[in-house]
């Protein structure tokens, strides 16, 4: 096979050597526009895991790279005069020039032809010249090939909002260092790491508006470097900052990061009657923000995956190879890009977190990508996590007005208390309100007693009853519970009394009105499908049909009907208090009646309740004010909102922050941050903890407590969220359907034994803890050597 690699960066060089190693008969040529020793940038970073992957792919190259690496384990976070250090991270730094030279030398050893100082203008002519059967487009961030065949590759290029500059220094850092400095115009951050015996990379980053206000756009390169030297002087110890981009003038050295995602990675190039695949690789195909150090990692692992696809699928033809490569690699790249996006957005919004104290700020930074979790940190540096858990617990017990207990174990963040008004929750886990469609004429019966009672006994701090309707006309289905008749209050009181008598949990009611989503069948009979008979008229903010051509059409509510619904909410609130509920939530999400006013997708009113966001929130705020007036001042009210409609023209996270501020001003205690279900046109982006960023942003920008909800299914998720200050409570839904004692079982999995179980179940607690401890011991004894350990062994020689 004749292979032509256009671009002599890490991706092109590494793929060339791997394919030559796989089959020495391959004729492989790498074309590079620069000279062999030209480079732009300073050092690159790999994790120990990446090194393990390199060892498996080509051990000679990996050994040479390892010998040239500067290795460190610690991360130092400098913030507000404090330094927070955590260890065990396992990073290696190497100069970009040295890395390229190692790859070039290995290519030459194996017989790869390297052609330098050749600027490729016509890849088709080159493909003819080298009789190519395969073209690798590894021509970098500004790939001409990607641009030329954009119709095939369909790149999505998102230029981000921070400015950053790559610099170097002779100051040697013993840890990967993040330094945050505040100026009169805003925050700057430095990312610094040593990559050889006498040089370190020093990246300075700041939001563009801060960059502009600081006058950096008007400074020469020398003036900008002097500005950075002065700002970060205490970290440089008198060492200068250096630039190796002298070809750029003035502010041009400060760039904005382009996030690149391509829908397709392979273009069929027609060359003299045959089809030659042109394959994007490295930065030409995708980018990942430098804050997680994965750009070079992705490039090298692209090369590994494509070479392995050839080894596995070449007998099936080159099309099968290309299909397998894109299918496998695009998924892994998407995972890295998702983590990189989270990390990038954290640094773009540093100001959001600067009210935090240094320990929590540092933890938030360490876990910003959501790939590094609480348990990951504990494995890396148990002492750091133990100390931080103690710090979190002390603050939590102080906030709850409780003495810090004397325990042999530190208390995981999810098991710390939380106080809201006069209600104290004994932990941060919430059983989400989940529709059960099991009421008879609105009455919660034995099913609800068992369902809610078992989950309260299962250890959660707060248990929500499902959305409880404020009128018969406000039900989703005929089987939904309500609080609009005296017998409803009586039935709920029986359940509330059971929870209080048999558990430490508090119990909450969520009040709602279905609006345009009412008069439907139970979920298992056809979710959102209209009733065949017995339906009732529906109202909404504006006339709408939730399922086009299927649902009953709701008409726009009149002012009189709006006032009646408000009174229904007030009556239900009074009933909820009589039933003894500890907590009330107003349901303003998911396209139900109050939500239909908030979203522009469902509100086209021309009166004072339509138009601007403030007008669209007017009616839900009126309802909130009315229920707050009759709900005891000692008890909290939370508000559930859809923080993102996931539809163009709908509510976006920016809007959600403003909505939260409006409810906070009205007296809300907490925002329950859900999303979607407003329109069937929605295109949500799912994943672990996918709605947590909404809770994070609202909590830290609107300065109101939040509940995170959505794909939170492990204690590790909850601990990471609470510890980082992304939310105050974590609502766990489906795991509680599968396991009523999810909270108690997760405590046992963590090895946390200082938690109350029902007295009747103590024997089960002890047996479970013994069995899990035995499983941990067996797993530790049988654990295979990880890629990190392989790399460590090689480092030892």
The three-state DSSP-derived secondary structure of 257-272 is: EEEEEECCCEEEEEEC
Using CA atoms, how far apart are residues 322 and 306, in angstroms rounded to an integer? Answer: 8
Q: Rounded to a whole number, what is the largest CA-CA distance in the chain?
A: 87
Can you give the pLDDT at residue 250? Answer: 66
Query: What mean pLDDT, rounded, does the chain reach?
Result: 95
Q: Is residue 766 part of a domain?
A: no
Residues 470 and 391 in one domain: no
Using CA atoms, how far apart are residues 483 and 571, in angstroms rounded to an integer? Answer: 8
Can you give the pLDDT at residue 768? Answer: 97
Residues recognised as catalytic: 592
Residues 336 and 480 in one domain: no
- What's the pTM value of the predicted model, to 2 decimals? 0.93
Q: Residue 38: is its pLDDT beyond 80? A: no
Residues 28 and 69 in one domain: yes
Mean pLDDT value of segment 229-258: 88
Name the residue among 634, 663, 659 with its Cα closest to residue 645: 659
Residues 242 and 157 in one domain: yes
Q: Which residue range(s) make up the domain with 279?
A: 2-348
Mean pLDDT value of segment 780-790: 64
**% the chain with pLDDT above 90:** 89
Can you give the pLDDT at residue 793? Answer: 59
Residue 292's pLDDT band, with cuts at 50, 70 and 90, is: confident
Q: Is residue 650 part of a domain?
A: no
User: 112 is written with which tokens?
Assistant: 């790869």
Using CA atoms, how far apart are residues 123 and 125, in angstroms rounded to an integer? Answer: 5
Residues 392 and 421 in one domain: no
Using CA atoms, how far apart are residues 277 and 69, in angstroms rounded to an integer? Answer: 35
Can you give the pLDDT at residue 42? Answer: 84
Q: Is residue 779 part of a domain?
A: no
Q: Is residue 693 part of a domain?
A: no
Using CA atoms, how far apart are residues 412 and 586, in angstroms rounded to an integer? Answer: 30
Digit-coded pLDDT (tens) for 652-703: 999 999 999 999 999 999 999 999 999 999 999 998 999 999 999 999 999 9
Q: Is residue 514 part of a domain?
A: yes
Query: Of the given ranges (113-127, 229-243, 516-530, 770-784), which has the lowest mean pLDDT?
Result: 770-784
**Beta carbons within 8 Å of 129's beta carbon, 6+ residues apart:** none
Q: Three-state DSSP class for 405?
A: coil
Q: Residue 788: is its pLDDT beyond 80? A: no
Supply the Cα-derived Rg of the chain in whole angstroms: 30
Residues 386 and 429 in one domain: no
**Cα 318 off chain centre by:** 36
Residues 496 and 637 in one domain: yes
340 and 288 Cβ atoms separated by less than 8 Å: yes
Q: Residue 797: is its pLDDT beyond 60? A: no
Q: Is residue 48 part of a domain?
A: yes
Digit-coded pLDDT (tens) for 336-356: 999 999 999 999 999 999 999
CATH of the domain at 622: 3.20.20.70
Residues 616 and 537 in one domain: yes
Mean pLDDT value of segment 735-751: 97
Can you give the pLDDT at residue 68? Answer: 86
* Strand ranges inside 503-567, DSSP E: 506-512, 539-540, 555-556
* End residue of a domain, out of 306, 333, 348: 348
Q: Residue 141: is its pLDDT beyond 90? A: yes
Q: Three-state DSSP class for 130?
A: coil
Q: Residue 245: is its pLDDT beyond 60? A: yes
- Report the Cα–Cα distance between both ends of the chain, in Å, rounded: 37
According to DSSP, the β-strands at 91-95 and 70-72 are antiparallel
Using CA atoms, how far apart are residues 526 and 662, in angstroms rounded to an integer? Answer: 36
Q: Is residue 16 part of a domain?
A: yes
Can you give the pLDDT at residue 80? Answer: 97
Q: Residue 795: is its pLDDT beyond 60? A: no
Classify residue 700 by its DSSP letter: I
Three-point CA angle 534, 603, 436, nearest 5°: 40
Residues 393 and 422 in one domain: no
Look-up: residue for tokens 């009523």?
740
**Beta carbons within 8 Å of 643's beta carbon, 6+ residues apart:** 651, 653, 656, 673, 674, 675, 691, 694, 698
Residues 515 and 612 in one domain: yes
Can you give the pLDDT at residue 246? Answer: 66
CATH of the domain at 148: 3.50.50.60
Q: Residue 181: is its pLDDT beyond 70? A: yes
Mean pLDDT value of segment 433-461: 98
Residues 383 and 317 in one domain: no
Three-point CA angle 468, 735, 417, nearest 5°: 75
Q: Is residue 697 part of a domain?
A: no
Number of domains in the chain: 3
Residue 779's pLDDT band, with cuts at 50, 70 and 90, is: confident
Residues 103 and 252 in one domain: yes
Q: Could you please report the per-residue DSSP string of 56-121?
A: HH-HHHHHHHHHH-EEE--EEEEETTEEEEE----EEEEEHHHHHHHHHHHHHHHT-EEE-S---S
Q: Residue 789: is its pLDDT beyond 70? A: no
Of residues 39 and 737, more confidence is placed in 737
CB burial of 495-514 (b: ≥16 within 10 Å; e: otherwise) equals bbebbeeebbbbbbbbbbbb
């Amino acid at each position: 096979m004749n292979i032509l690699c256009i671009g002599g960066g890490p991706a092109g060089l590494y793929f060339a050597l791997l394919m030559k190693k796989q089959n020495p008969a391959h004729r492989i040529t790498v074309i590079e526009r620069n000279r062999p020793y030209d480079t732009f940038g300073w050092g690159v970073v790999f994790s120990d895991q990446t090194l393990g992957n390199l060892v498996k792919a080509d051990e000679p190259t990996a050994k040479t790279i390892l010998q040239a690496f500067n290795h460190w384990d610690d991360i130092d976070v400098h913030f507000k005069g404090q330094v927070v250090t955590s260890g065990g991270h396992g990073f290696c730094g190497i100069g970009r020039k040295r890395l390229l030279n190692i790859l070039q030398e290995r290519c030459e050893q194996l017989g790869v032809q390297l052609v330098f100082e050749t600027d490729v203008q016509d890849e088709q002519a080159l493909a003819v010249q080298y009789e190519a059967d395969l073209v690798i487009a590894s021509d970098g961030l500004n790939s001409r090939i990607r641009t030329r065949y954009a119709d095939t590759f369909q790149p999505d290029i998102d230029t981000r909002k921070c400015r950053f500059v790559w610099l170097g220094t002779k100051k040697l850092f013993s840890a990967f260092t993040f330094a945050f400095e505040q100026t009169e115009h805003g925050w700057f951050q430095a990312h610094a790491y040593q990559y050889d015996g006498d040089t370190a990379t020093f990246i300075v980053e700041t939001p563009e508006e801060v960059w502009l206000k600081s006058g950096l756009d008007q400074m020469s390169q020398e003036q900008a470097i002097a500005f950075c030297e002065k700002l970060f002087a205490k970290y440089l110890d008198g060492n200068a900052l250096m630039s190796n981009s002298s070809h750029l003038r003035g502010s041009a050295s400060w760039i904005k990061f382009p996030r690149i995602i391509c829908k397709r990675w392979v273009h069929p190039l027609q060359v003299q009657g045959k089809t030659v695949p042109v394959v994007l690789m490295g930065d030409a195909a995708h980018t990942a923000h430098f804050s997680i150090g994965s750009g070079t990692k992705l490039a090298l692992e692209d090369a590994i995956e494509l070479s392995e696809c050839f080894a596995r699928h070449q007998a099936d033809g080159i099309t099968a190879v290309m299909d397998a490569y894109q299918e496998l690699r695009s998924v892994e790249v998407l995972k890295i890009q998702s983590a990189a996006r989270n990390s990038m957005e954290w640094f773009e919004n540093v100001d959001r977190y600067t009210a935090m104290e240094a320990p929590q700020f540092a933890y938030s930074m360490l876990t910003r990508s959501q790939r590094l979790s609480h348990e990951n940190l504990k494995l890396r540096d148990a002492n750091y996590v133990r100390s931080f858990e103690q710090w979190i617990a002390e603050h939590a017990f102080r906030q709850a007005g409780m003495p810090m207990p004397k325990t042999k174990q530190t208390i995981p963040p999810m098991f710390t208390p939380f106080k809201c008004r006069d209600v104290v929750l004994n932990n941060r886990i919430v059983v989400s309100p989940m529709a059960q469609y099991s009421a008879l004429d609105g009455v919660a019966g034995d099913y609800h007693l068992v369902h809610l009672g078992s989950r309260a006994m299962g250890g959660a701090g707060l248990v929500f009853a499902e959305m409880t309707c404020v009128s018969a006309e406000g039900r989703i289905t005929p089987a939904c519970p309500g609080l609009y008749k005296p017998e409803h209050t009586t039935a709920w009181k029986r359940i509330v009394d059971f929870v209080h008598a048999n558990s430490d949990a508090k119990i909450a009611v969520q009040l709602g009105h279905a609006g345009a989503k009412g008069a439907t069948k139970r979920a298992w009979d056809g979710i959102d499908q209209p009733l065949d008979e017995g339906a009732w008229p529906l109202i909404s903010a504006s006339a709408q049909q939730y399922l086009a051509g299927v649902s009953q059409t709701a008409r726009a509510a009149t002012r009189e009907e709006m006032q009646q619904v408000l009174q229904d909410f007030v009556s239900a609130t009074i009933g909820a208090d009589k039933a003894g509920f500890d907590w009330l939530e107003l349901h303003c999400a998911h396209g139900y009646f109050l939500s239909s006013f908030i979203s522009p997708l469902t509100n086209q009113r021309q009166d004072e309740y339509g138009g601007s966001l403030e007008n669209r929130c007017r009616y839900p705020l009126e309802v909130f004010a009315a229920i707050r007036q009759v709900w005891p001042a000692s008890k909290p009210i939370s508000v559930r909102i859809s923080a993102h409609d996931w539809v163009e023209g709908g509510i976006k996270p920016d809007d959600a922050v403003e909505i939260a501020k409006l409810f906070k001003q009205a007296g809300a205690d907490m925002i329950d941050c859900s999303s979607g279900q407003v329109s069937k046109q929605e295109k949500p982006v799912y994943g672990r903890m996918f709605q947590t960023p909404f809770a994070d942003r609202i909590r830290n920008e609107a300065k109101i407590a939040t509940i995170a909800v959505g794909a939170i299914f492990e204690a590790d998720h909850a601990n990471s969220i609470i510890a980082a200050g992304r939310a105050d409570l974590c609502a766990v839904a489906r795991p509680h359907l599968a396991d009523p004692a999810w909270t108690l079982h997760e405590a046992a999995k963590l090895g946390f034994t200082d938690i109350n179980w029902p007295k009747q179940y103590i024997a089960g607690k002890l047996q479970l803890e013994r069995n899990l401890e035995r499983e941990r011991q067996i797993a530790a004894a049988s654990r295979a050597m990880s890629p990190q350990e392989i790399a460590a062994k090689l480092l030892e020689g």
